[in-house]
Structures are given as C-alpha cells and as structure tokens.
Structure 1
Amino acid sequence: MLVRRGIAVSPGVAIAKALVLGTETFRIPHQFVRPEAVESEVGRFRSAHAAVCEEIRSNEQLAADHLGKQYGAIFGAHLQLLMDPKLTSEIEQLIRDKFYAPEFAASRVLRKYAKVVQSLGGQYMAERATDLFDLEKRVLRQMLGQRREELANLTCPVIVIARNLTPSETASLDRKHVLGFATEGGGRTSHTAILAGALEIPAVVGLGRFLSDVSTGETLIIDGNVGEVIISPDEATLERYRDQEAKRRTIEERLLTFANVTAETKDGVRVYVMGNIEFPDEVEHCTSRGADGIGLYRTEFLYLQSDREPTEEVHYQAYCRVIDACGGKPVVIRTLDLGADKIPGSFREQFKDQPNSALGLRSIRLSLQNLPLFRTQLRAILRAATRGDVRIMFPLVSTLLEFRQAKMILSDVMEDLQDEGIEFKRDVPVGMMVEVPAAAMLAEEFSREVDFFSIGTNDLIQYTLAVDRADTSVATLYSSGDPSILRLIKLVVEAGRKRGLPVTVCGQMSSDPKFLAVLVGLGMRQISVTPHALPELKALLHHMTIPQAEEIARRAMSFDLARDVENYLRGELKKLSPEATL
C-alpha cells in the first residue's frame, strides 16, 4: 500500500481500478488470472514479447536503411532493454507466484524500473525512463489487441490518473464510468479543478510525479476531502474508507434539510447563496439544494465540449434550459472566458504561439477581437432573457474602455435584433467580473457604469500575488487569505455600497466555509458557490450573527500574513460550527 498526498479540489471518496493515461490509453481488463491458467498466460506473455521484439527489429532495420545506423541504434537499445533476462523472468514470476494477469505483471515491472531510472535524475536518465514507458505501451498493445479501451469508450468504473487533464478533457469525462481523477500537476483553483467540482467527482491534483507508481488495473482510493491517493490499499483501509463515506453521506443528507430554508444569519439578515455552473444540466444540482439562483454560468464550456463552434441556436437552447429551470430566480450569464488553459479545438491554431496565455488574449479581450463570435453569444443571451431574470457579465475587465466597448457592442446587437423583428429583452442588467487588481483599485470609477460587481477570486489571487494558479511548484503561495486579497475585496464592496450596487464573490474562496464569516463581515450579502457547497454554507449562516461576522472580519484584516489569517479563520469556524468542513 502506498499513499501519495496532493491538493484536494473536489470532495468525496472514490474506490475503483486505475486507468493511467499516457499518449495512448489502455485499460487492463483483469488484474489476476486463475491458477490453472497460469502456464497459458505465461505463454501468452512470451508470444507478445516475441512479437514486440520482432517489431522493434523491423523498426531498427528500417531506420538504419533510411536514416543511418546511428538512428537504428535507438531501436537497438529498446531491444536490449526488452530482452533483458532479468526483466522477463521477473514478469513471469509475478504471473506464476501472484497469479497476476500478464498485462498487469508487465506494466508493474516496467513501471518499477522506470521509476528507479527516473529517481537517478538527469536528462539522459529521463530519456531512458521514457524508453521503458514506450516498451510498456508496445507490450500492452500487443497483448490487449482489440481489447484496448479508449477514455471516450469506457465500459466499467475507473479512476483516471494522468500527468494533467485539460479543461476540455475534463469536461468530456464520462461521469457514468469515471468515478474520480488524480493528476501530477494542477492547482486548487485551476480550471480543471473547478470542473471536478462541477462534475461532482472526487479529485486530487498537484501530486507530483507518481504515474510510475501506478499500473492500469490497480485498485485505488481517491480521498478528495483531504487530498490523498492510496495505491493498492489493504482490506482494512478499504473498509475504513467505506465507513467514512457512509458517514459523509449521512451528514450530506442532514444538510440537505436546509435546501428549503431561507439563507439568513442567526439575527435574520438575508444573504443570497447562489450556484456556479459550467453545464446546463448542473442547474438541477443547484435548485435541488436550495440555491437562490445562478450567480455564475461559465458559458465557455459550450465551446470546450466540441471542436465545432456553437451556433446561436445552441447557445439559445442552453441558456433557455437554465433560465426555465430557475423559475424566475436570477441567472448571471458570463460571456465566454476562453484562452489560458481553456482553448477549444477551433482556436488552437490562433493560440499556438502565445508565450503566456494567462496574461495574453483571453476572456473579454478575445471577444472584442472576435466580434462575430461575441455577437452570436450576445444575440442568444438577449433572446433567452425574455424567459426570466437574466443578467450579463463581462469577464476579466481591466479598463473602463474595455467595459464601454463591450456595452457598445451589446447595444449594436440590440439594434440588429430590433431591425430583424426578433423578440429580446432590452433592460438586462450588465455587470463585470473583478478579477484583476486594476479593476479592484478602480472599483469606484467602474461603479458609475456597471449594474453589479462579481469578484472572481481565482484570477484575482493569481494576478495580485503573481502566482500561476495551475503551477504545483508555487501552490503554497496561492492563498485566498492573503491580506492583499481581503483589502481588494473590501475596496470593491465599499464602492458597491456607496452606489447601492450588488456585489458577489463567485470564486472558489466563497465555497470554502472558513471564509464565509469574513466575507459576510466585510459586507457581502450574496455569494455564488460550487453546487455541493450550498447546503453547508446555508447551514453555517444560521450559526452566525452580523456583529460576530464583522468582528471576525476586523480581526482577520489585522493580520499581516496569509497563514495567520487562515489559521484564525479555521479556529473561528470550529467555534461557529464544530462539524463544518475545514
């Protein structure tokens, strides 16, 4: 049994067989074989081994003939590795002694040696480890043949293990069969992490190099509550986790009793708790948990689920579905936030040469440079807005000029719809995401032109602290509790209060129970959160009064280190609600 620790990004526990993703995806259908089948399975391994050796010899000759002997020698080195008697003997011994399936035995042995080579360090050794992974792929392909199973065509439950998953890959995961995932890279607020919460599957990211520790078909436990991945757990550990998961479900069921309870503090002050969604079908996750509406609809995932650009009708139908399900409650539709790590297939050519996509062409900047794309989305939103309480929000606005340009295009689209005789809603509130320090510092100026603010803490933290939110190596520097972040939030809240504008926090910070009191204490009266966090946060509000929250905020603002802020807030959360999630 091996335990690896990373960053917990989506709660829950999953227990299933591993599916290790590389350049090609294989699922080993059986980890063990029957004792009476051992010799035939050893024979099957030897046949596959011989076939791979012959394949490599052919490649060696082909490369030597066409490119020169030095290139043929690359395949010769592969052949030497695979024909090592120690390696083949170890694989056969696992089949005979432990009744491992030959695919599983080969994967275990080759990955074990790859890990040893990786640990020696240096570019040369890294390349030799890659050679071993390539040999594993060749052997598995030979043995599995038509039984190779691609990620898009899963037939049984798995836990996906990968170096990293892009947002588009995560968005396309089959929720019926993918019970959880773990990645070597990624951060707490990376878009992949956010999607894991949206899919409501346990996930751990930022584990560092660990793929060589896991073979496809091995049993794994993913603990998305504390950020652990347990490889080949023993029976006692499996039983303990099953018990823990049963208790967690009991607590969740109790919290669901708050679904129909008004979200307000102990002293009766109303705080609107809304939901964040990526996909239209998530709206049911919010309404069933008593959300006061949708505070953030991330529409860019209409683009990431397909390589084809969505039409106006596709946009319109998606928005109508969400608006209708909310039954008159507000729906805040954010215009597309593509770029950075969210790049659909149709945009890859445009983004391939960007040196720093997080600071480059993304979000509202991209929309303003792709007016047909922007106008298509705005047309669909305005048409759908006739069906309910819809608000439009522009992302990553950093200057007043950007906001004014976006509003001007919105006005042009309204004129076009009117000229065409198409029904639409004209008086739609228009707000902005506050995600960059420049926007927070100019909040008072922006407040004269916007209808509402929504603070996107994920990017605000990234840009304020100069910490890449998806970079594991600097994950410890990324903190919602940094004093600079609290001060910027206070600036925006005060600017909104002066003009009577609604201010919401919709980043991951608002889904974290320990920050609820400080946000309420700073004057926040509406938040938008991950759907699974709705019941707990609604329950927690009933444990605090406004004076309590204001005192917590005052004390939190007095600290000069993020570590001290977060430790203090953890302590206060335990006082308010001993059962709360830390």
Structure 2
Amino acid sequence: MLKLQGIAVSSGVTIGEALVLDSEGFRIPRRFVARSAVDTELQRLSNAIAESTAEIKKNRDAVRGELGEQYAAIFDAHLAMLNDQRLQEELTSAVRERNWWPEYAVSRTLRRYAKVFQNLDNHIAQRAHDIYDIEKSLLRNLLGQRRETLAAISEPVVILAHNLTPSETANLDRRFVKGFATELGGPGSHTAIVAEGLEIPAVVGIGPFLADVSGGEPVILDGNQGVVILQPDEETIARYRLEAEVAETVAASLGQLRDLPAETTDGVRVQIRGNIEFPEEVEQCMRRGSDGIGLYRTEFLYLTSQHEPSEEDHYRAYRKVIDAIDGKPMVVRTLDLGSDKMLTEKSPEEERNPCLGLRSIRLSLRQLPMFRTQLRAILRASAHGDVRVMFPLVSTILELRQARLVLADVMEDLAEHDIDFNPKLKIGIMVETPAAAMMLDAFIEEVDFVSVGTNDLIQYTLAVDRGNKDVADLYSACDPAVIRLLKRSLDIADDAGVSASVCGQMSGSVMYTQLLLGLGLRELSVPAAAIPEIKQAVRSVSIADCQAVAKRVLEMNSARDVKAFLRDQKRRLLAETVA
C-alpha cells in the first residue's frame, strides 16, 4: 500500500480501478486477449518492436551526423535495451501465458524495470528515463491510429494522469469517471474548477507517481483530504467505504434544507446561487435549493466543441438554463478564455506569460465578431428571464467602457431588426485584480453589480500561478492582503448601494462563510454540491458573531494565523450544528 499526498480540489471519496494516462495521454487499461488471438497480438508486438528499432536507428544516425559519436551512443543504449533477449521473452510470456494485451504488457513490464533502476545509484537511476522513452515509443507504435481518448471510457475508473487540461476534464463522462488525480496542478487551476463543477472527486499536484501504478489496480481517491492510496489493503478499503456511506447520509440530511431560506439566526437573508459550466448542471443547483445562477462560465461552450459556437448555440444553452430557474436571476459571464482555458487552436505565437496576456475581456475586445455573437445571444435570452451580463478580468475603466459600447451597439442592431431583448439588462464586472479592487470606486458608478472572483484575485495579488504545484503553498485565500482587498471591494459596493457577490473556491468553503458574512457579503455564488452545506452554515450563525470573526481576522498579519483561526471557527460551527 502506498499513500500519496496532493492538493484536494474537489471533495468526495471514491474507490475504483486505476486508468493510467502517461504524459502523452495514452490510455493503458488492464485488458486481456482471447487465446485464439494470441499469435496475432504477438505479431503486432513484434511489428511494434521492429518499428521502434527503426525509429531509434534513424534518430541515432541523425544525431551522429549532427553531434558526433558520443551523443549517438545514447541511442545505441536504447537499442540494446529494446532488443534485450530477457525483456523480449518477458513481453512474449506476458502475452502468451497471461493473455495480457500487448500495450498493457509493455507498460507494466517496462515500468517495473524503470522502478528497479530508480532505486539504484544516481548514475544507473538516470537510465530509468531511457526505459520510459522506449515504453512511449512502443506504445505509440502499438496504438497507432487506434490510440484511445478519454471520451472512449466505457467502464468505471479513477483516472491517474500527469496532467489534464480543462477541456479534457470538461469532456469526462461522469457515468464512468469516478475521480482523477494528477502529478501537476494547483488549488485554483481551472481544471480543479471544472472537477468541482462536475462533482468529480479530484486531487492534483501529487508529484511524480505514475511509475508506481499500473492500469487496473485498485486505488482510493480522497478528495476531502487530498490523499491517493495505491494498492490499498482490505482494511483501508473497508474504512473508506464506510466514510463514503456516512457522507451520503450527511448529504441526504442536508437535502432537507432545500426549500428553507438561507437566513441567519438574527434574520438576515443571504442569497446563495449556483455556479455552472454546462446547462445540464442547473438541475443540480435547483434541486439543492439555489436562489438562481450566480456564475455561468460560458467558455465551456468553446472548450467542449470542435468549432466556435454560433449565436444559436449560445442562445439555446442560455434558454435551457432560464427555463429551469423559474424567474430567478442568471448571471452570464462573457468569454473567459486564456491561460489554461485555451482555445482549440494554438496561437501562432505562444505567450510567454498567458496569465498576464490576451485573455478574458481583452480577448473579447480583440475578437469583436466573436464577442458580438455572444452578446446577441445573451440579449435575446434576456427577453425570457432575469438575465444579467458580467465582464471578466476588467482592469481599467477604458475596458469597461469599450465593452459597454459594444453591448450598446448590439442592442441597437437588435432593435433595428425588431428582435426582443431587455433594454435594461443589468451589467456587472468581475473584480479579479488589485487594479480593479483599488479603482472600484470609479467602476462602481458604471455598473449594476460586481462579483469578486477570489481565485484570480488571490493569484494576481500574491503573484502566484494558481496552477503551479511548486508554489501552491503560497496560494492562499487566508492571506491578509487578499482579505483586505475583498473587504475594500465589499465596502465600496455597499456604500454605493450596488449588489456584490463573491465567487470562487473561497465562497464554496464553510471555513470562510462566517468571515465573508462578517465582511458584509450577502450574496454567494458556489458550486452546486456546496449549496446545502453553505446554507446550513448561514442558518447556524448570527451576523454579530460573523462580524466578530471578521474583526479578529482583519487584525492578523499572516495567512497561517488566519487559517488556523478560521479552521478552529469551522470546527466549532460544525460541532454546534451536529449537536
């Protein structure tokens, strides 16, 4: 049994068979071949070895001509390993005697070899990289055009991968993918956000571990504690199964809150709205008693499609949500692509720092036809319900005014063609940068509402890449600088009589509920799964108590102190709730 610690990004516990993806995205499940097909599969293995041998020789000769014999010797070593008689006999035996699929035989056998090398002295340990290269070469040639994709999964699995992009995560089939864990990733990455939206338990930022596991092996994934357990024993499996059953019981009890208002013990009403990426998620929100949709992340219309969505694609998606929320508000965030939320086509010039580059409202203002298409659909949808539009990553007053001008132009065009829309559509911005927070007193005069996006606000305030596991310890919603910017934003909105909400992972965690209410927040936008728990927390506290919590936090100077204090408050709150 091997216990790995990573970063918990989407709650839940699951137990299942591992499906291992290497850094190139190969699926290597445990699969067996019929005895009648053994000879055919062995021939396929032999062909792959021959093709890999030819590729290595070609690379060796090219390197010899460019760099000389010393560097070509690297490839001679690869050839020696690949054509080692013992290795080939072992692979042949795995297929003939164990009826293993050749791909599985290659992955399982070579990873075992690599692990042995890694446990030897440093010089020999480096040879493990050569074995991984050989494994990838063989897998490429074995899989060929039959290389499988994540979309082809048809049985329950827990995905273990080097990394998953947001688009790959968005396309996971929730019927079969019970959870995932990755070597890379950080707490605020968009892959993590998608996992939370899909309600798939997820752990990221574990570091190198794929060499220690093979497809088909049992694995436990604990998305609450950020733990992954490989080859668990029966006692551990039984303990986690019990934990999963208890969680289901708690979830069922929280479901009784569905039709009750999120109201504090001293009678203050709090709006709790859901975050969604896909129209299908609205049902989960409403089933849990949501007060509407506080954040519709529309970029996933792009990430899950092979083409740029048309006006009708947008309109149908928005109408589907409007028709399901019974007159409650729906806040549509315009395109927020950029960074790791990338377009399907690569930019001809790769950005050196995409987090600070052409993304969100900046991209929309550069791609006006695309922006206008989305705004037309939003406006058309506004004729059928309480639709609001929100612009992401606004950093300057000029960006806001330019976006409003484009919106006004689209309104004029629709009016000329007698197409219905709400001419008093509410307009808001995301407060995600220190610039927006510091200039909010100017912005506030030109918007109807604001939403503080804590995920990006943390990233930009602390200069920490939220998708980078190496600096994950610095990415903290508990940092006093973040909390003070949040307080400033809420105070400015309150003074101006403009509604303010908070979205992001901070709003969906009970640990921060008392702090946020104490800072003056009265609208939260959270993942569907978090709605019952946050509602219970709201109904268990008074505003006076929350203000006392906020006052204590604002006196602290370190994220560590804030985190310890809030964790203690959470334990007390949960203890009182259970009692």
State whether TM-score is above 0.5.
yes
8 A Cα contact 1:452 1:501, kept in partner: yes
**Residue 304 of structure 1: aligned partner:** 303
Residues 121 and 420 (structure 1), Cα distance of their counterparts in 2 relative to 1, 3 Å cut: farther
Residues 121 and 13 (structure 1), Cα distance of their counterparts in 2 relative to 1, 3 Å cut: farther
Residues 311 and 77 (structure 1), Cα distance of their counterparts in 2 relative to 1, 3 Å cut: same
Alpha-carbon distance in structure 1 between the residues aligned to 2:271 and 2:243: 31
**Residue 244 of structure 1: aligned partner:** 243
Tell me the amino acid that sits aligned with residue 10 of structure 2.
S
**Residue 218 of structure 2: aligned partner:** 219
Q: CA deviation at 1:374?
A: 0.8
Q: 1:129-528, aligned counterparts within 5 Å?
A: 129-139=128-138, 149-346=148-345, 348-350=346-348, 352-528=349-525
**Residue 25 of structure 1: aligned partner:** 26
Instruction: Output the aligned Cα RMSD.
Output: 3.0
Any idea what the Cα deviations from partners look like across 1:12-46, whole Å, max 9, x if unmatched?
A: 12222222223252333438x99xx8xx9998997
Instruction: Report the secondary structure of 1:492's partner residue.
Output: helix
Q: 1:571 aligns with which of 547, 568, 574?
A: 568
8 A Cα contact 2:115 2:211, kept in partner: yes
Q: 1:23-172, aligned counterparts within 5 Å?
A: 23-30=24-31, 50-59=46-55, 75-85=75-85, 87=87, 104=104, 106-115=106-115, 117=117, 128-139=127-138, 149-172=148-171
8 A Cα contact 1:513 1:580, kept in partner: no
Alpha-carbon distance in structure 2 between the residues aligned to 1:500 and 1:73: 73
8 A Cα contact 2:117 2:124, kept in partner: no
Q: CA deviation at 1:276?
A: 0.7
Alpha-carbon distance in structure 2 between the residues aligned to 1:454 and 1:484: 18
**Residue 547 of structure 2: aligned partner:** 550
8 A Cα contact 2:490 2:500, kept in partner: yes
Alpha-carbon distance in structure 1 between the residues aligned to 2:358 and 2:122: 35
8 A Cα contact 2:451 2:503, kept in partner: yes
8 A Cα contact 1:27 1:148, kept in partner: no
8 A Cα contact 1:10 1:201, kept in partner: yes
Tell me the amino acid that sits aligned with residue 28 of structure 1.
P
Tell me the amino acid that sits aligned with residue 178 of structure 2.
L
Any idea what the Cα deviations from partners look like across 1:270-289, whole Å, max 9, x if unmatched?
A: 01011111111111110000
Instruction: Report the secondary structure of 1:270's partner residue.
Output: coil
Alpha-carbon distance in structure 2 between the residues aligned to 1:130 and 1:60: 15
Q: CA deviation at 1:574?
A: 1.5
Instruction: Report the secondary structure of 2:507's partner residue.
Output: helix
Alpha-carbon distance in structure 2 between the residues aligned to 1:220 and 1:168: 24
Instruction: Report the secondary structure of 1:447's partner residue.
Output: helix
Residues 329 and 115 (structure 1), Cα distance of their counterparts in 2 relative to 1, 3 Å cut: same
Alpha-carbon distance in structure 1 between the residues aligned to 2:436 and 2:214: 47
8 A Cα contact 1:57 1:75, kept in partner: no
Instruction: Report the secondary structure of 2:570's partner residue.
Output: helix
Q: CA deviation at 1:137?
A: 4.0
Q: CA deviation at 1:488?
A: 0.6
8 A Cα contact 1:543 1:577, kept in partner: no
Instruction: Report the secondary structure of 1:524's partner residue.
Output: coil
8 A Cα contact 1:264 1:270, kept in partner: yes
Residues 48 and 381 (structure 1), Cα distance of their counterparts in 2 relative to 1, 3 Å cut: closer
Instruction: Report the secondary structure of 1:273's partner residue.
Output: strand
Q: CA deviation at 1:108?
A: 3.0
Alpha-carbon distance in structure 2 between the residues aligned to 1:264 and 1:432: 26
Alpha-carbon distance in structure 1 between the residues aligned to 2:553 and 2:319: 42
State the number of aligned residues: 573
**Residue 4 of structure 2: aligned partner:** 4
Structure 1 unaligned blocks of 5 or more: none
8 A Cα contact 1:275 1:528, kept in partner: yes
Any idea what the Cα deviations from partners look like across 1:336-379, whole Å, max 9, x if unmatched?
A: 10111111214x225x4211000011101111111111111111
Tell me the amino acid that sits aligned with residue 55 of structure 1.
E
Tell me the amino acid that sits aligned with residue 232 of structure 1.
Q
Q: CA deviation at 1:52?
A: 4.0
Alpha-carbon distance in structure 1 between the residues aligned to 2:354 and 2:62: 40
8 A Cα contact 2:41 2:101, kept in partner: no
Residues 175 and 183 (structure 1), Cα distance of their counterparts in 2 relative to 1, 3 Å cut: same
Alpha-carbon distance in structure 2 between the residues aligned to 1:50 and 1:328: 64
Q: CA deviation at 1:148?
A: 6.0
Comparing 68-77 with 15-24, which one deviates more in the overlay? 68-77
Q: CA deviation at 1:99?
A: 9.5
Q: CA deviation at 1:552?
A: 0.6
Alpha-carbon distance in structure 1 between the residues aligned to 2:60 and 2:472: 47
Instruction: Report the secondary structure of 1:510's partner residue.
Output: coil
8 A Cα contact 2:431 2:457, kept in partner: yes
Q: CA deviation at 1:61?
A: 5.4
8 A Cα contact 2:265 2:540, kept in partner: yes
Comparing 526-535 with 175-184, which one deviates more in the overlay? 175-184
Comparing 116-125 with 323-332, which one deviates more in the overlay? 116-125
User: Are residues 1:539 and 2:540 paired?
Assistant: no
Alpha-carbon distance in structure 2 between the residues aligned to 1:380 and 1:312: 6
Comparing 325-334 with 173-182, which one deviates more in the overlay? 173-182
Alpha-carbon distance in structure 2 between the residues aligned to 1:498 and 1:224: 40
Alpha-carbon distance in structure 2 between the residues aligned to 1:579 and 1:299: 39
8 A Cα contact 2:293 2:330, kept in partner: yes
Q: CA deviation at 1:122?
A: 8.7
Alpha-carbon distance in structure 1 between the residues aligned to 2:234 and 2:278: 38
Q: TM-score, normalised by structure 2?
A: 0.91
8 A Cα contact 1:223 1:229, kept in partner: yes
Q: CA deviation at 1:120?
A: 7.7
Instruction: Report the secondary structure of 1:511's partner residue.
Output: coil
Structure 2 unaligned blocks of 5 or more: none
Tell me the amino acid that sits aligned with residue 13 of structure 2.
V
Alpha-carbon distance in structure 2 between the residues aligned to 1:388 and 1:535: 25
Q: CA deviation at 1:109?
A: 3.2
Residues 12 and 580 (structure 1), Cα distance of their counterparts in 2 relative to 1, 3 Å cut: farther
Alpha-carbon distance in structure 1 between the residues aligned to 2:573 and 2:38: 61
8 A Cα contact 2:60 2:75, kept in partner: no
Residues 142 and 316 (structure 1), Cα distance of their counterparts in 2 relative to 1, 3 Å cut: closer
Any idea what the Cα deviations from partners look like across 1:85-135, whole Å, max 9, x if unmatched?
A: 554576689899999777545423311333455678999966x44432243
8 A Cα contact 1:19 1:27, kept in partner: yes
8 A Cα contact 1:323 1:388, kept in partner: yes
Comparing 210-219 with 332-341, which one deviates more in the overlay? 210-219
Identical residues among aligned pairs (%): 51
Alpha-carbon distance in structure 1 between the residues aligned to 2:443 and 2:45: 68
Residues 567 and 378 (structure 1), Cα distance of their counterparts in 2 relative to 1, 3 Å cut: same
Residues 343 and 389 (structure 1), Cα distance of their counterparts in 2 relative to 1, 3 Å cut: same
Instruction: Report the secondary structure of 1:407's partner residue.
Output: helix
Any idea what the Cα deviations from partners look like across 1:507-544, whole Å, max 9, x if unmatched?
A: 11001111000000011011100110000010111110
Q: CA deviation at 1:236?
A: 1.8
8 A Cα contact 1:59 1:72, kept in partner: no
8 A Cα contact 2:170 2:300, kept in partner: yes
Q: CA deviation at 1:486?
A: 1.1
